[in-house]
Structure 1
Amino acid sequence: MGGLTDDPAFLATTFVVIDFEATTPKGYPAQPIEVAALALRYEHGAWTAAGRPFASLIRPPAFAPVTPAVTAQTGLTPEQVRQAPTPAEALSALDRRFAAGKQYLLVAQHAATEANLIYNQREHCPVLARIDFLDTIPLAKYLVPGLPNHKLDTLLAHFAIKQPADRHRAYADVGVTAQVFLQLISAVDGDAQFSDLAALVKIAGRTAKCNMPAQSGLFDI
């Protein structure tokens, strides 16, 4: 490789692929029921895992039960999450994985979904909530514009990545999203349009909601 993967900022960054499964109760924001994360670094010309993967079920609040529709989508049942860690327990455990002074970017397929879930749980994961995103969808749109859509299943088929048996579980989806991400990085490496991390962020970056400027009131004096 070359170009992007020679950039010092790129080499200094740990890329954390993250995925949530959630339930969407009427009248409330989506509530996480599972989270998984996989940290990757590019070192000595190859990708390596940075530490152990993280995965946890999450017990949703009473107002956000696991519905039959969620079970049909994810395979998760109310019984599986009944004794799971609370959002505070699960997300604070994930938050502790991030070391002070290191540079991170979160990687997600349709990052807005993960960004909203993290923002709504920010009191439990204040470090995680301040990390910006790379979204695989705009990067894929830039690189393979002719696809009928850029959903994860479409990208898996395009890159000949095998569908996991437990697709729509957080850990499985993190694994295949990571594979898509590495394919995309391989495709842009050496492209003059992607000479450094800043160029990659310009195309695919998404600012964490906690890092967005606060909007003052319309009639503030």
Structure 2
Amino acid sequence: MGGLTGDPAFAATTFVVIDFEATTPTGYPAQPIEVAALALRYESGAWTTSGRPFSSLIRPPAFAPVTPAVTAQTGLTAEQVNRAPHPAEVLSALDRRFAAGKQYLLVAQHAATEANLIHHQREHCPALARVDLLDTIPLARYLYPGLPNYRLDTLLTHYSIKHPANRHRAYADVEVTAEVFIRLVHAADENAGFSDLAALVKIAGRTAKCNMPAQGELFGPTPVGQRGHSEPI
């Protein structure tokens, strides 16, 4: 492979692919109803998973019920999520997966959505909320400027990745986003513009809101890697 995956900083980073499903109540921020995460490492020329995948339904607050539109998209019903754990329980459990002294980047398709959901839940997941992000959309746009759009379904078709039957469920979307990310890294590795992790971050990096100055915008170029605490992912 090329310079990107040969960069020690790239090898030292755990890439955590993350996806939320959410309900969007009028007058309130989006509220998570499901989350999934899958940690990847690039070691000895191959991708491996790091730790166990994480997936859980999340009970939304009363002001953010699951609507028929959400059920039509995700298949999740109000009865299912109303039996789920509260956000504090789920997100604190995910937060404990981020170990002190390790370098992480979150990976998401349209990372603004995940970044905002995490930021609004930051009291439950302070370590997660300080991990910066990579967005697959600007990376794909840079590498494949001729595609009609950069939606996940379009990228799956471009790479001939099978669309999952339960598309728009968090873990199914995490699995296929991880496949897309691996393909994008392979393409970037063959592109002279991606000499190291810093170059990847320059194109696709997004700064977690908790890492920005108080008056900063939500997104900007991200520094490489952030640290968390407790059990490793």
**Matching residue's letter, 1:169:** R
Residue 190 of structure 1 and its aligned partner are, at CA, apart by 3.4
**Matching residue's letter, 1:56:** S
Q: Distance in 2 between matches of 1:102 and 1:2?
A: 24
Q: Distance in 2 between matches of 1:101 and 1:13?
A: 11
- The CA RMSD measured in Å over matched residues stands at 0.8
- Number of the residue aligned with 2:2: 2
Gaps of 5+ in 1: 217-221
- Number of the residue aligned with 1:80: 80
- Number of the residue aligned with 2:48: 48
SS of the equivalent of 1:192 reads coil
Q: Distance in 2 between matches of 1:29 and 1:152?
A: 23
Superposition TM-score, scaled by structure 2 size: 0.92
**Matching residue's letter, 2:147:** L
Q: Distance in 2 between matches of 1:163 and 1:42?
A: 25
SS of the equivalent of 2:64 reads coil
Q: Distance in 2 between matches of 1:20 and 1:78?
A: 16
**Matching residue's letter, 2:114:** E
- What do residues 143-197 of structure 1 show as CA deviations (whole Å, max 9, x unaligned)? 1111110000000000000000000000000000000000000001132210100
**Matching residue's letter, 1:70:** V
Gaps of 5+ in 2: 217-233
- Number of the residue aligned with 2:121: 121
- Number of the residue aligned with 1:39: 39
Counterpart check, 1:94 vs 2:85: no
**Matching residue's letter, 2:40:** L
- What do residues 81-117 of structure 1 show as CA deviations (whole Å, max 9, x unaligned)? 1110100000000000010110000000000000000
Q: Distance in 1 between matches of 2:215 and 2:64?
A: 30
Q: Distance in 2 between matches of 1:196 and 1:139?
A: 14
Q: Distance in 2 between matches of 1:176 and 1:191?
A: 23
- Number of the residue aligned with 2:183: 183
Q: Quick check: 126-135 or 207-216, which moved more?
A: 207-216
**Matching residue's letter, 2:67:** T
Q: Distance in 1 between matches of 2:176 and 2:109?
A: 10
**Matching residue's letter, 2:129:** A
Q: Distance in 1 between matches of 2:142 and 2:40?
A: 23
Residue 215 of structure 1 and its aligned partner are, at CA, apart by 1.8
- Identical aligned residues as a percent: 83
Give the length in aligned residue pairs: 216
Q: Distance in 2 between matches of 1:82 and 1:23?
A: 13
- What do residues 43-74 of structure 1 show as CA deviations (whole Å, max 9, x unaligned)? 01000000100000000000000010000000
SS of the equivalent of 2:193 reads helix
SS of the equivalent of 2:61 reads coil
**Matching residue's letter, 1:33:** I
Matches within 5 A, 1:1-221: 1-215=1-215
Q: Distance in 2 between matches of 1:204 and 1:33?
A: 27
Residue 2 of structure 1 and its aligned partner are, at CA, apart by 2.3
Q: Distance in 2 between matches of 1:76 and 1:87?
A: 16
